[in-house]
């Protein structure tokens, strides 16, 4: 039986990437690749509680039924890092969220200008699409800032009413009186949008907070130690329940692959003993290495290989997905990532290109429609019985 910890990407409300979704598609892929047609696979979800932290994780077992018997072939554990990534903002008051967002938008403004200047005829199409994705993220954060303005004004008005006429008659009070109609207009426009799509308010706010948390994680390392500590704790809990000699795989999709990579190859200190000894296989899907290196310079550079028992690394990417990255034929890029040549000589590194459509067919109309970004969500379909990139994992298991 194989055991794996799955780290999903951000934005689960918009795309089926939960542990259940992932396990169903892996089960389907295992079934398709099994040479014995009569064998059947099924995925069942349960829950495991942490012994100390008061937390729980979803667990999915994939069972294989043959004419002789039924056995578990995969046990998948979910690591929901997003709850820790966003905890500083999802639970924060309106004023704190507003101020932090203002600072982030100002700090990333040079990157915004870089994205605009990248739209010229002398750079590759892939770079243009990457720039457009950054513009989308910046726009989402900017709109969320506007979305917060009415609530911020409401808080400030409440504070002013408590302070008396002195503040109300000051320039600040006059400014609030002037901007109040603007805020009313914002509220009206958002109210119309909410009528057309009632769920959009929650999705939009959560997406913006996740982007904000990801930005701070990459820029300042915020919550990184907490997230890595929680992941180590989950690994320890699995070992206590399953046995000291078990081996565990790490499967990361999108930003989840960044979290997993940081756990295996941290900059701050060597990985913990449990991670060193128990993590033997690593799978990255849509790993946004190149994109992050553009806007967070040298984030992945010069990671140290420190005694891991890592045997193999599978990287699944797509030529049409501008957020994914390829490492296979670039020795310089590999060494800039992990500078130990012995690591690359001993590990079994395999890369698979999974393309739904031809990257050469993406023109400027498709660029405007964000096809290169949408391809990031095309590694599997919304229907669980559809084909997926996980067929590459199943090929190695059967």
Q: What is the pLDDT of residue 167?
A: 44
Average pLDDT for the chain: 80
With b for 16 or more beta-carbon neighbours within 10 A and e for fewer, the 295-313 pattern comes to: beeebbeebebeebebeeb
User: How would residue 132 be classed by pLDDT, with cut points 50, 70 and 90?
Assistant: low
Q: What is the pLDDT of residue 303?
A: 84
Q: Hey, what's the torsion of the CAs at 352, 355, 359, 365, to 10 degrees?
A: -140
List, for residues 314-326, the tens digit of each pLDDT value: 999 998 888 899 9
List, for residues 318-369, the tens digit of each pLDDT value: 988 888 999 887 888 888 888 888 889 889 999 999 987 665 665 555 555 5
User: How would residue 279 be classed by pLDDT, with cut points 50, 70 and 90?
Assistant: very high
Is pTM beyond 0.85? Reply is: no
Place of tokens 């308010």: 201
Q: What is the pLDDT of residue 336?
A: 84
Q: What is the pLDDT of residue 42?
A: 93
């Amino acid at each position: 039986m194989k055991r794996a910890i799955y780290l999903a990407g951000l934005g689960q409300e918009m795309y089926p990437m939960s542990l259940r979704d992932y396990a169903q598609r892996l089960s389907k892929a295992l079934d398709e690749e099994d040479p014995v047609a009569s064998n059947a696979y099924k995925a069942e979800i349960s829950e495991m509680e942490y012994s100390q932290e008061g937390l729980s994780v979803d667990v999915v077992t994939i069972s294989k039924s043959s004419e002789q018997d039924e056995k578990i072939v995969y046990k998948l554990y979910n690591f929901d890092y997003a709850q820790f990534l966003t905890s500083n903002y999802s639970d924060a008051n309106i004023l704190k969220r507003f101020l932090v967002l203002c600072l982030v938008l100002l700090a990333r403004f040079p990157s915004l200008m870089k994205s605009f200047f990248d739209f010229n005829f002398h750079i590759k199409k892939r770079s243009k699409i990457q720039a457009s994705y950054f513009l989308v993220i910046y726009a989402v954060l900017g709109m969320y800032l506007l979305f917060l303005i009415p609530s911020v004004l409401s808080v400030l008005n409440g504070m002013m009413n408590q302070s008396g006429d002195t503040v109300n008659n000051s320039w600040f009070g006059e400014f609030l009186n002037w901007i109040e109609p603007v805020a009313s207009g914002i509220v009206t426009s958002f109210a119309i949008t909410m009528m057309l799509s009632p769920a959009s308010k929650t999705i939009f706010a959560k997406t913006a907070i996740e982007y904000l948390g990801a930005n701070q994680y990459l820029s300042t390392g915020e919550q990184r130690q907490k997230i890595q500590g929680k992941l180590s704790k989950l690994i320890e809990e699995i070992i206590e329940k399953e046995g000291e000699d078990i081996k565990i795989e790490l499967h990361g999709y999108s930003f989840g692959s960044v979290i997993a990579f940081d756990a295996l190859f941290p900059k701050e200190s060597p990985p913990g003993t449990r991670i060193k000894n128990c993590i033997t296989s690593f799978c990255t899907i849509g790993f946004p290495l190149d994109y992050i290196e553009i806007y967070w310079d040298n984030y992945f550079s010069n990671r140290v290989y420190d005694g891991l028992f890592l045997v193999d690394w599978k990287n699944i990417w797509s030529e049409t997905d501008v957020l994914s990255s390829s490492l296979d034929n670039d020795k310089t890029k590999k060494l800039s990532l992990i500078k130990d040549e012995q690591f690359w000589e001993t590990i079994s590194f395999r890369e698979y290109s999974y393309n739904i459509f031809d990257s050469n067919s993406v023109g400027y109309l498709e660029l405007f429609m964000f096809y290169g970004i949408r391809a990031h969500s095309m590694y599997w379909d919304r229907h669980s019985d559809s084909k997926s990139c996980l067929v590459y994992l199943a090929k190695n298991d059967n």
